[in-house]
Structure formats: structure tokens, C-alpha cells
Amino acid sequence: MSNTIKSVGVIGAGQMGSGITHVCALSGLNVLVQDVSEDLIRSGIATINGNLARQIAAGKITEAECKAAQARVKPALSMEEIGGVDLVVEAATENEDIKKAIYAKLCPVLNPKAILATNTSSLSITRLASTTDRPEQFIGIHFMNPVPLMQLVELVRGIATDDLTFETSRDFVNALGKRTAVSEDFPGFMVNRILMPMINEAIYTLYEGVGGVSAIDTAMHLGANHPMGPLQLADFIGLDTCLSVMQVLHDGMADPKYRPCPLLVKYVEAGWLGKKTGRGFYDYQGDEPVPTR
């Protein structure tokens, strides 16, 4: 028998955090949004409002549903303000030290019965849980990007995660209208363990001169029926995130097949991180994306 989640705290108001807040609020949950500054929180809420407006325009939700969802979202200017929720979803950047620092501030003020979830796409749930005061109530709830559109959520139990936490988290995801896939706690889980090496191999294909950016993306879009090519997808995900996941896979598996492509490293070092910086494997500064190689 699971517990019912009625209130959620989301830590991180970026692309993932705002998406998680969006779907929770539309599903009738009260959501408190926390980040390192009020400006970031307000920016995240503005993104949610813009995305809700697009859903109205597309006929996916009504204006009444939009207003009700907006009313359920509130800023939390301190960790203490989210201490009373039933579930906290940490959606901070994919950096283990940053996540651990958040838990150190959160756990002392978080209600003892609350579940603490991380949206990490590759880091060890067991290791993150071990730094908290509630490893039994810690779980990976990995939403896919963009959260309002993608149907899948990976549920990942750490070695200590108890049955009640798992069942409550599964019911929470189902209540959002999402589908769950349960993964064991290994580097990259399932989606990124399969997806990121494919993207990395596409970058090697570019690096070795087998094909250009457009040719590689066209080949996989039309030849494998993928909705977009792997280099375009990498730009959408963020090349820094792709590199981070590949490093986790390489470190965790100690297998050379997961070695990040040097060209991926070079792009990240240049600050060409994809769509969010205006340049990656494509340049997004004009009317149409133009390949950078």
C-alpha cells in the first residue's frame, strides 16, 4: 500500500525542474520551486507559463486548467519553505558534489516522512542516498526531456530504497500520466546507457571524417527512422550533459568502449554546448540551424 503524494518540492528551476513542476501542477499537485536565486525561480516559473500558453494554443489544455495549474505553483526562497512537502524532486545540474551539498542543506529541514528523489540521468542512486539521513526513502525518478511531452520515467532503486518508497513513487509517476520503466542502479541506467554511446559513436563518425553533420543526421533520421539525428539530439540535450554521462559510463564500467570522443570534449571546452548556448554541432543564431562542421 503506497502513500498518496499531495505536495511536491522541486529543487532546480531549469529545463528539467520547470518541466517536472509543469506536469505536477497540471496533475493537481501543489508545487514549491526552489533554486539558488529568486531570479532563477522566477525565470523557471515564466518558462512554465509560456509552455502552458503553448498547450492552450495547441488545444491540449483549457484556459481554466492553465490557471488552476499556475495557482498551484509557488516559489520557495529557502530550503525551509519546502520542508513540509510529501516528496522532493532534486533536479539540479548533473554534478554529484552539487547534489550532495543540496541534500546536506535539505535533510535537516525536511519532514521525516518525505521521500527524497533525484532526477539524475546517470549517477549512482545508492551513493547519493548514502549521504542523506533517509537512504530507505531515497529513489531515482528520472524524467525525460522535454518533460511535458515525453511519456517515460525511469524509476531507479538504490540498494537501501524500501518498498513503500518505490510503490509511492511509482503511483506518483502514474498519476502524472507517465509510464514507468524500472532500472537497476548501474551507470547510465537504461536509456542513457543505450542512447549516449550511440550519440558518442555519431560524434566519432564525424571526428573520423566518415560523414558530415548533415549526412550523419540524415542517415539516422531516414535510415533508422529516428525522429531526429543523433547530433541534433545531442545539441538539444546539451553537449556538456552528454559528456558528463559518457564520463560516468567510462568511470563506472572501466570499459574503453565508453570513452568520450575527443571532438565532444573539444566542443564542451569551447563552450559550444548546443542549442542552449546558440552553437554546438549546429549554429542556431540564424533563421535556420547551420552545421558547424
Instruction: Look up 192 and say whether it is catalytic.
Output: yes
Instruction: Look up 167 and say whether it is catalytic.
Output: no
**Residue 127 backbone phi and psi in degrees, to 5:** -70, -40
Q: Where are the alpha helices (DSSP H) in the chain?
A: 15-26, 38-57, 63-72, 96-106, 125-129, 163-175, 191-207, 213-223, 230-237, 239-253, 262-269
Instruction: Look up 154 and say whether it is catalytic.
Output: yes
3-state SS assignment for residue 243: helix
* Residue from 18, 119, 121, 124 carrying the catalytic annotation: 121
* Residue from 22, 90, 142, 244 carrying the catalytic annotation: 142
Residue with the three cell numbers 530550503: 79
Contacts 24+ apart (CB under 8 A), 250-253: 251/187, 252/124, 252/186, 252/187, 252/188, 253/187
Residue with the three cell numbers 535556420: 288
Instruction: Look up 184 and say whether it is catalytic.
Output: no
C-alpha cell of 185? 542502479
* Residue from 124, 154, 169, 244 carrying the catalytic annotation: 154
* Residue from 18, 192, 200, 244 carrying the catalytic annotation: 192
Cis peptide before 230, with omega less than 30 degrees from 0? no
C-alpha cell of 37? 536565486
The Cβ of residue 286 has, within 10 Å, a number of other Cβ atoms equal to 8
Question: Catalytic residue positions?
Answer: 121, 142, 154, 192
